Amino acid sequence: MISNSINQLKNEMIAWRHHIHAHPETAFEEVNTTQFIVEKLQSFGITELYTHFAPTGVVGIIKGQQEGRWIALRADIDALDIIEENNIDYCSTVRGKMHACGHDGHTAMLLGTAKYLSEHRNFVGTVVVIFQPAEENEGGARVMVENGLFEQFPIEAVYGIHNQPNMKLNHFYINHGPMMASYDVFEIKITGVGAHAAAPHLGKDTILTATQIVNSLQSIVSRNADPLSSLVVSITQIHSGDTWNVLPQKAVIRGTVRTFSAQVQDMAEQRIKQIATGIATAFDAKADVDYQRRYPATINYAKQADIAIAAANKVVGQENLVIDPLPSMGSEDFAFMLQKIPGVYVWLGAGKGANLHNPAFNFNDEVLATGVSYFVEIVNQELAIQELAN
Ligand code: NI
């Protein structure tokens, strides 16, 4: 059930969402978005605000009726470098940037929640609302964590939502464990000896070496990973050569690794290095491997997953819950928060529409009130006034 007072916030949230959608800003450049959020929070009477955890983004403190435990609700606020292809009256006004992941909706949803909580304050303890920048590519969550977000405040659990188009409208998808995969990137630089294409015996062919490496890297998933574990090794770039009659001296291969387990991640890194350097040696060339771990896997905590299930159950009912769905091999920087403190990241089905990161994507406003109700129920579950009696 969605209460009348939350439904009444809907039109206002839609207006905020459309404003943010029309003015997209990408990683750590969300200056106007942050300013917009600050102004709204202040207008709700939330005056304890912090902006020092990241170059952009804001953290707001909402106190309940009495001191008590602390929990946090998180929204990401950044847009993507995509040219929008929607024909809507609040289309992106910044060519080449758009809210194609629905973070405009996540922001509006958390603003609506903040307004509701500030008006009602019918809980014991403190709710921290985290408007996090730079979810895409730059790991804004990591920056906020490194800058002491969870040291400055005694937050016991953090809750996040992501909208998911083409999942059932207003259904919650909640996992007790792995939800999103880790995200690593690697670059293999191959150095050989350049030569005339007509005299290959005078060179060390980097293109032949590179293609052998690409082929052999595919054996990591099929031959090294346990068939019951999840692992992706994708080669996404291969660059070499400039003309027809030269064997190039250098080649570069780039790609990404996704998994849920630290053990599998270690294995993949080690095998990529071993295969690349071993094959390069066999072809009398040299390979240098740069392997970077970008985002860890997003692994939910079972206890908070149960709290999320109880909260979602109150909002949409048991029949609209999908418990322990298959996780996604995509990634999410909320993982950095879950490395520090317990919490849960859920998907909120948004019904049929263009997929995330597609130029025709548009957040479905029909999930805004559902998201607010869920967050409010999380607060009811975690910081219930009844606890006073105990
Ligand atoms: Ni996203």
Alpha helices in the chain (DSSP H): 4-7, 10-22, 31-43, 103-120, 140-146, 149-152, 206-217, 219, 262-282, 302-316, 334-340, 368-382
Q: Which two tokens stand for residue 33?
A: 């978005």
Encode pLDDT of 25-77 as tens digits. Answer: 999 999 999 999 999 999 999 999 999 999 999 999 999 999 999 999 999 99
Distance 285 CA to ligand 1 centre (A): 41
At residue 136, the 3 state secondary structure works out as coil
Distance 331 CA to ligand 1 centre (A): 9
- Partnered with residue 173 across adjacent β-strands are 322, 347
Distance 162 CA to ligand 1 centre (A): 7
Distance 301 CA to ligand 1 centre (A): 20
Tokens 């929070």 — which residue? 41
| pTM for this predicted structure | 0.92
Distance 74 CA to ligand 1 centre (A): 12
DSSP 328: B
Structural domains in the chain, sorted by start: 4-180+297-383 (3.40.630.10), 183-295 (3.30.70.360)
* CA–CA gap between residue 236 and residue 58 (Å, rounded): 35
Q: Which two tokens stand for residue 339?
A: 């490395």
Distance 166 CA to ligand 1 centre (A): 15
Distance 359 CA to ligand 1 centre (A): 14
Distance 164 CA to ligand 1 centre (A): 9
* CA–CA gap between residue 173 and residue 162 (Å, rounded): 10
Distance 120 CA to ligand 1 centre (A): 29
Cβ contact 192:209 at 8 Å: yes
Helix (H) or strand (E) holding 148: none
- Our measurement of the distance from residue 57's CA atom to the centroid of its chain's CA atoms, rounded to an integer in Å, reads 15
Tokens 């890297």 — which residue? 217
Ligand 1 is an ion; its neighbours by CB within 5 Å are 101
Q: Counting Cβ atoms within 10 Å, is residue 227 exposed (0-12), middle (13-18) or buried (19+)? A: exposed
Distance 101 CA to ligand 1 centre (A): 5
Strand pairing report for 49-50 and 58-63 = antiparallel
Distance 338 CA to ligand 1 centre (A): 16
- Partnered with residue 124 across adjacent β-strands are 66
Distance 334 CA to ligand 1 centre (A): 10
Encode pLDDT of 232-265 as tens digits. Answer: 999 999 999 999 999 999 999 999 999 999 999 9
At residue 217, the 3 state secondary structure works out as helix
Q: What is the pLDDT along the chain (390 residues), one digit of tens a residue?
A: 899 999 999 999 999 999 999 999 999 999 999 999 999 999 999 999 999 999 999 999 999 999 999 999 999 999 999 999 999 999 999 999 999 999 999 999 999 999 999 999 999 999 999 999 999 989 999 999 999 999 999 999 999 999 999 999 999 999 999 999 999 999 999 999 999 999 999 999 999 999 999 999 999 999 999 999 999 999 999 999 999 999 999 999 999 999 999 999 999 999 999 999 999 999 999 999 999 999 999 999 999 999 999 999 999 999 999 999 999 999 999 999 999 999 999 999 999 999 999 999 999 999 999 999 999 999 999 999 874 444
Distance 102 CA to ligand 1 centre (A): 6
Cβ contact 127:71 at 8 Å: yes
Residue 217 carries which side chain, given as an amino acid letter?
L
Distance 274 CA to ligand 1 centre (A): 34
**Strands of the 155-164 sheet, one edge to the other:** 49-50, 58-63, 124-132, 66-76, 155-164, 343-349, 172-174, 321-323
* CA–CA gap between residue 138 and residue 134 (Å, rounded): 6
- Partnered with residue 293 across adjacent β-strands are 184
Distance 155 CA to ligand 1 centre (A): 23
